[in-house]
Amino acid sequence: MLEIVPVEEAVGKILSHDITRIVPGELKERAYKKGHMITDEDVPKLKQLGKDHIYILNLAEGLVHENLAAERIARAICGPFLGYGEPNQGKIELTSELNGLLKINIPLLQKLNEIPDVTIATRLTNQPVGVGSTVAGTRIIPLFTQEENLLRLESLCSKHPPLISIKPFQPWRIGLITTGTEVFYGRIPDGFGPIVKSKFEAMGSEVYRQDIVPDEIQVIAAAINEQVSEGAQMVVLTGGMSVDPDDLTPAAIRATGARVITYGAPTYPGAMFMMAELDGTPIIGLPGCTMYHKATIFELVVTRLLAGETVTRSDIVALGHGGICAGCQVCHYPNCGFGKG
């Protein structure tokens, strides 16, 4: 099955696997690709790479080479809005074709990785990804595998929702209400509004209107009702979310008759978060941490809403596992475990 040929005798033969070049501390790259026909000029170069012998693979029936296996796995696990390239050293990477929310079928991932020889690694589910972002990789461990392993994987994938998919962010029409008597009367500038607008714009949505109102329950409630009645697809309120006597935003949201889904979330930063629904419109109360932390409850919940998902109280409760930010000196979100337990 596996023929070992001295490199000097390998001229004219076809490589059955990639050959890697490594420069310690600098790079690791593919020097020769599977399928390359060895020439006289290749012999000294291969010897420099430490290849005194070349492996020629003559596969028996029922065995599949690592590159073909990787291609078959990638095709089986690839869901909407994902792409993949050619195998490189037996591995294929899957990349996002648009800006959206990454979804991983975790139970299926467990089942597939239990199949002999198969390895699939993904990024954490429910995180925003951009065009061209690498979201997963796959390969088999040996140089070849039994075809029955791939048939088992393909069968499992055909019976379940896609292992990996991207849910595109939809362009939402966002109404913003900034509460705070000090902002309303111009005692301090509005520092919250521009940050919230930029977060939504980065995901393709528009804050079409911003109302600045004082800390008065009826005034805040009226502003919410007006934005909902004129067609806002989501109403976001900033300020007044703590338990201080002057912070009345939660009471104002309740005063509209909205159905409260949660007041409070097991995430730090972001605990003083409120989500409600009024006539089918999400009403979001953002805590002050959204103004000065890169990653908060906003990134964990609002991104899912923008991707068209329904977020329940149980979903928010589940954020507790992984819900504390590690406070890294340089924030690497979303490439971390915050809120993704």
Q: Which residues of 105-116 are buried (b: 16+ CB within 10 A; e: fewer)?
A: beebbeebeebe
Identify the pLDDT of residue 1: 59
pLDDT tens digits for the chain (341 residues)?
567 888 888 887 777 778 888 888 888 888 888 767 788 998 999 898 888 888 776 667 888 888 889 999 999 999 999 999 988 888 999 999 999 999 999 999 999 999 999 999 999 999 899 999 999 999 999 888 999 999 999 999 999 999 999 999 999 999 999 998 888 888 999 898 999 999 999 999 999 999 999 999 999 999 999 999 999 999 999 988 876 666 799 999 999 999 999 999 999 999 999 999 999 999 999 998 888 888 899 999 999 999 999 999 999 999 999 999 888 888 888 888 888 76
pTM: 0.81
Question: How many whole angstroms separate alpha carbon 111 and alpha carbon 93?
Answer: 20
Q: What is the 3-state secondary structure (H, E, C) of the chain?
A: CEEEEEHHHCCCCECCCCEEEEECCCEEEEEECCCCECCCCHHHHHHHCCCCEEEEECCCCCEEEHHHHHHHHHHHHECCCEEECCCECCEEEEEECCCEEEEECHHHHHHHHCCCCEEEEECCCCCEECCCCEEEEEEECCCEEEHHHHHHHHHHHHCCCCCEEEEECCCCEEEEEEECHHHHCCCCCCCHHHHHHHHHHHCCCEEEEEEEECCCHHHHHHHHHHHHHCCCCEEEEECCCCCCCCCCHHHHHHHCCCEEEEECCCCECCCCCEEEEECCEEEEEECHHHHCCCCCHHHHHHHHHHCCCCCCHHHHHHHHCCCECCCCCCCCCCCCCCCCC
Which residues are paired to 32 by β-bridges? 19
For domain 2-57, say whether CATH 3.10.350.10 is its number: no
pLDDT score for 20: 87
pLDDT the model gives residue 245: 65
CATH code of 173-320, in short, is 3.40.980.10
Q: Do domains 2-57 and 63-167 have the same CATH topology?
A: no
- pLDDT at residue 333 in the model: 85
Cα 266 from chain centroid? 21
Question: pLDDT value at position 295?
Answer: 87
Domain ranges of the chain: 2-57, 63-167, 173-320
C-beta of residue 100 within 8 angstroms of C-beta of residue 81: yes
Round to whole Å and give the CA distance between 138 and 123: 12
Q: What pLDDT does 35 receive?
A: 67
* Reported CATH class of domain 63-167: alpha beta
